[in-house]
Structure 1
């Protein structure tokens, strides 16, 4: 669990993804989710629930979160509004590095906004944190996200055989 001080620091860091961080704070207060621009502070990789479930070999929420913590070592958001649900791994921007998984797990950056839940949103309904950031600037390493995708695609192909 995060201390109140750590929560404030993480929330402040996230809010400053916007030019007007007070807007993010207002959205968290009013709706529980703030629309934050991607590309500068962090990017997000959109992962279909089926892909994540294949990678971690479970759909049980607590086991899934524990495995994602181990595999990605960074924050993950779940949005259950779409059929089947979607996970978003928050990742450091990679300037000038191609993303070779765009067809399976798109990397969302500049020009895209992501619904980022308030830090206390840890379960359904709607958008919530599967894995909380542990400190300001805590993000998944690109190689860890790529490794999860490669493993998931391989696991999915094996089950189709």
Structure 2
């Protein structure tokens, strides 16, 4: 097993251990490519509307958005088309849902919420995928960078979607 493979296995294990039955998360990844993981202990997730993110990074093409979010937020980010208009989920410390003070801007999902978390190799559309996959165990975004990004996106006009 090479170094990257070992790291991916460690990261997948870290994600799976957020589930009370980690083997179930592994089975869901194997069967559906996405596992429903509970939020609030190992990590929480800040849901950001796609139009706000696209305005903030001045792009809507997936590869350009991925580069911009990786540089700006520096942590793990998931995209899901399941929410109307699409949404990006920035993973943050688990306790953030308890102390989140920015509910007027974006929602932080914590205890009592589940998030569809893709298998690590799902890094492109279609479906739910990693925009910025975790590089190591605990690779999370800092809330201050998320808030700065969202404020920037809300102050700019929407990016036109190319047909």
Pairwise same-fold verdict (TM > 0.5): yes
Report if aligned partners of 1:80, 1:124 keep a CA contact under 8 Å in 2: no
Report if aligned partners of 2:40, 2:95 keep a CA contact under 8 Å in 1: no
Partner residue in 1 for 2:101: 100
Q: 1:96 to 1:139 in 2, by over 3 A?
A: closer
Q: 1:155 to 1:94 in 2, by over 3 A?
A: farther
CA–CA distance in 1 between the matches of 2:70 and 2:26? 26
CA–CA distance in 2 between the matches of 1:96 and 1:32? 26
CA–CA distance in 1 between the matches of 2:95 and 2:108? 10
User: 1:56-111: CA deviations, max 9, x gaps?
Assistant: 11011111111101110001100113332111001113469642332331000000
CA–CA distance in 2 between the matches of 1:35 and 1:69? 24
Normalising by the residue count of structure 1, what TM-score does the alignment of the two structures yield? 0.90
Structure 2 unpaired stretches of 5+: 159-163
Partner residue in 1 for 2:37: 36
Q: Which has the larger displacement, 66-75 or 87-96?
A: 87-96
Normalising by the residue count of structure 2, what TM-score does the alignment of the two structures yield? 0.89
Q: CA RMSD in A?
A: 1.8
Q: Which has the larger displacement, 147-156 or 129-138?
A: 147-156
Report if aligned partners of 1:42, 1:92 keep a CA contact under 8 Å in 2: yes
Q: 1:147 to 1:28 in 2, by over 3 A?
A: same
Number of corresponding residues = 156
Report if aligned partners of 1:43, 1:92 keep a CA contact under 8 Å in 2: yes
Partner residue in 1 for 2:84: 83
Structure 1 unpaired stretches of 5+: none
Alignment of 1:1-161 (within 5 A): 3-94=4-95, 98-156=99-157
CA–CA distance in 2 between the matches of 1:115 and 1:88? 10
